[in-house]
Amino acid sequence: MPLSSLPAAILSHMIAINNVPPPPLHSLPRLKMSKYIDYGQLNELCHKRELQSRQSSYNILSADYMFIKQYPKIFLKRKTRLPNLFKQEEKREPTKDKELQLQKPDDSHNIAIHVKKAHGGLSLYGPKNFEEKLVGLLNILKKLPIYRTLHEHRTVWKLLKTIPDLTSQLTDEYLKILSKSVISQTWVKGSTVVGNDGFYIILKGSARPQTKVYKDVIDENESTSSFISQNFQGWFFDENFKNIPAEMHTPSSNPKLQQWSAFGTLEVKAQTDSETKEYTVITVEDCEILKIPAKDFSRLKSEKLKHENKEKVKLIHNCPYYEEWPTLSICKLAALIKWKKFPPGHVIVESGKIITFVAYINSGYCNVYRNIIGLMKLQPKKVKKIQKLVCMGTLKEKESFGEISILLQVPFTCTIVTGEEVEMAIIEDKDLFVA
């Protein structure tokens, strides 16, 4: 009987499989023994269990219990390893020498530096000395004022504050404004510098006055600044500032103006030839001279005067009794005003006296006291008169007093004492009656 196709296919497949040789044997991979297991302890524990289990069924249970109890002992305890503590070392501040060494680049191949050192040039690294600062200052002054930065304007201002000829006459506010207009001029040896159009300060070099006669600058009526020798601090005259002459020495027959000496004037007026010579110097060597133009100073004074007059008019106009006054009349009063400050607790005027000025309070306040006579009971049917100052009120900012006392020559009926530092605009009686 013939076979169907499916059994025949299965039979042929079985015969083919029997003829295929078995695959070659491969060795098993070696197990890596753990370093955290005590294999000796494990073998001993297994051997004890095998011996006990052979004796009886009861011993099998006890052997299993003993095996479970002793089994954790085959594992070795891992040593706990703590992390290393990081010890932060204190940062040592490098010394100045080391800082300079770190900042100094390698200039061994820089030919420009070698040329500069060969010609006695300034050092490029390390703290700046006086000459380097002076060079930096001259570079700033060479620029037009409109091209200078705020830091450069501040540097020039600091320079002006170190010159006694200026600080003895001008306030910091004036110097700060003037620092934005000063310039530096370069004069070669043998040049003639006429200082009648500004105030000059020699920054570098030296010069010699053209005239050997010093003008007497201590003149009671009117005086102007002349050239100043290095032996004494010069000063110039201005009606808005006090004349503060310094210690002066008799000039030698051949005076010489050295570095930081000053000459010239800040007054703008027509001068004769003889007056012009007094402000003229001749440079002995190449010079760098700082110039404060007299026109700029004059413009600064006029602007400040206008601003002060505006503040005076505003102060008077804000006082209650002057609100309806015409501006022209107030301007006349403002021209007579002088600013004055009083410390706390200062008695402006006492009761029963005529005040010598009219006052307009700009800042601060004053207390008004009045003498009051009262009776004090000492014993039954006995009393005593006492006099006591009683505060009746205060005078605050934008208030005035003293007009009636001066105009009518009437004594004050109260005492006025400053409660804090008070700034007043005052008009003295002598100026008021002359006007």
pLDDT in tens, 146-157: 899 999 989 888
* Least confident stretch, 54-63, 108-117, 189-198, 223-232: 223-232
Would you state the pLDDT for residue 21? Answer: 64
**Cβ atoms 336, 291 nearer than 8 A:** no
Between CA 291 and CA 283 the distance in angstroms is: 15
Would you state the pLDDT for residue 383? Answer: 80
Would you state the pLDDT for residue 231? Answer: 36
Between CA 197 and CA 292 the distance in angstroms is: 9
* Least confident stretch, 133-147, 201-215, 399-413: 201-215
Average pLDDT of the segment spanning 240-251: 36
DSSP one-letter string for 190-222: T-EEE-TTEEEEEEES-EEES-SPPP----SS-
Closest CA to 257 of 280, 291, 223, 225: 280
Would you state the pLDDT for residue 88? Answer: 59
More reliable by pLDDT, 273 or 261: 261
Would you state the pLDDT for residue 262? Answer: 84
**Cβ atoms 272, 189 nearer than 8 A:** no
Domain boundaries, the chain: 129-212+253-299, 319-433
Q: Is the pLDDT of residue 243 over 60?
A: no
Q: Is the pLDDT of residue 395 over 60?
A: yes
* Least confident stretch, 103-117, 210-224, 371-385, 393-407: 210-224
Would you state the pLDDT for residue 237? Answer: 32
Would you state the pLDDT for residue 113? Answer: 63
- Predicted confidence band of residue 380 (pLDDT cuts 50, 70, 90): confident
Q: Is the pLDDT of residue 186 over 80?
A: yes
Assigned CATH for 129-212+253-299: 2.60.120.10
Domains 129-212+253-299 and 319-433 share a fold: yes
Q: Is the pLDDT of residue 389 over 50?
A: yes
* Least confident stretch, 63-67, 119-123, 244-248, 263-267: 244-248
Between CA 168 and CA 154 the distance in angstroms is: 20
Between CA 272 and CA 212 the distance in angstroms is: 18
More reliable by pLDDT, 380 or 397: 397
Architecture of the domain delimited by 319-433 = Sandwich (2.60)
User: 232-236 long-range CB contacts below 8 Å, 24 or more apart?
Assistant: 233/164, 233/165, 233/168, 234/165, 234/261, 234/262, 234/263, 235/165, 235/168, 235/169, 236/165, 236/169, 236/199, 236/265, 236/266, 236/267
Q: Is the pLDDT of residue 229 over 50?
A: no
Would you state the pLDDT for residue 92? Answer: 60
Average pLDDT of the segment spanning 402-408: 90
Between CA 122 and CA 135 the distance in angstroms is: 10
* Least confident stretch, 36-50, 133-147, 402-416: 36-50
Report residue 54 CA to chain centroid gap. Answer: 99
Q: Is the pLDDT of residue 181 over 80?
A: yes
- Predicted confidence band of residue 410 (pLDDT cuts 50, 70, 90): very high
Q: For helices 294-318 and 327-334, give the axis angle rounded to 10 degrees.
A: 120
**Cβ atoms 226, 217 nearer than 8 A:** yes
Q: Is the pLDDT of residue 401 over 90?
A: yes
Please classify residue 172 by burial: count the beta carbons closer than 10 Å to its beta carbon, then call 0-12 exposed, 13-18 middle and 19+ buried. Answer: exposed
Would you state the pLDDT for residue 224? Answer: 38
Tokens of 14: 């079985």
Would you state the pLDDT for residue 399? Answer: 93
The tens digit of pLDDT for each residue in 93-117 reads: 655 555 555 555 555 666 666 665 6
Place of tokens 């002349």: 226
Mean pLDDT of the chain: 76
Coil, helix or strand at residue 409: coil
Percent of the chain with pLDDT over 90: 19
Q: Is the pLDDT of residue 275 over 70?
A: no
* Least confident stretch, 180-194, 254-268, 295-309: 254-268
Q: Indicate the helix (H) or strand (E) that contains 115.
A: helix 111-118
The tens digit of pLDDT for each residue in 283-335 reads: 999 999 998 888 888 888 888 888 889 999 999 999 988 988 998 989 989 99
Tell me, what amino acid is at 172?
D
Looking at mean pLDDT, say which of 71-80, 182-191, 236-245 comes out highest. Answer: 182-191
* 419: CB partners within 8 A, 6+ apart: 344, 364, 365, 366, 367, 394
